Amino acid sequence: MKVGIVEKEIVDSNEIEVGEDLSVNIILDENNQVVGAIADEVIVATGPEGSVVDEIVDVLDAEGELLIEDETMTVYDADAKVISRDEEIRIPLED
């Protein structure tokens, strides 16, 4: 059994379930050449007090270089009502 402290509350990790899903869609042009991809990763942690959902969407070019990343973190209470939502969009700067 692992025990941790979350916001000054002791949490038994046996009460928390974590799941992850990753999907990747390849984008092709009219000649079936790869021009990019979109990766969508969702991580969910659920416990008796609610859930946290972290979704990261990456847009990549044909070489696999990151063009833009959009991350949304949503916190739900035990009744599945949204407590908070935070979104951050990142665009890498050129060297």
Residue 24 near residue 37, CB atoms below 8 Å:
yes
Which residue is it, tokens 């009219």?
30
Residue that the structure tokens 């991580």 belong to: 43
Please list the pLDDT of the chain residue by residue as tens digits (95 residues): 444 444 545 455 668 888 999 999 999 999 999 999 999 999 999 998 899 999 999 999 999 999 999 999 999 999 999 999 999 999 998 76
The residue ranges of every structural domain in the chain are: 15-90
Residues 6+ away with beta carbon under 8 Å from 6: none
What are the Cα distances from residue 69, in Å, to 4, 17, 58, 92?
A: 30, 26, 5, 9
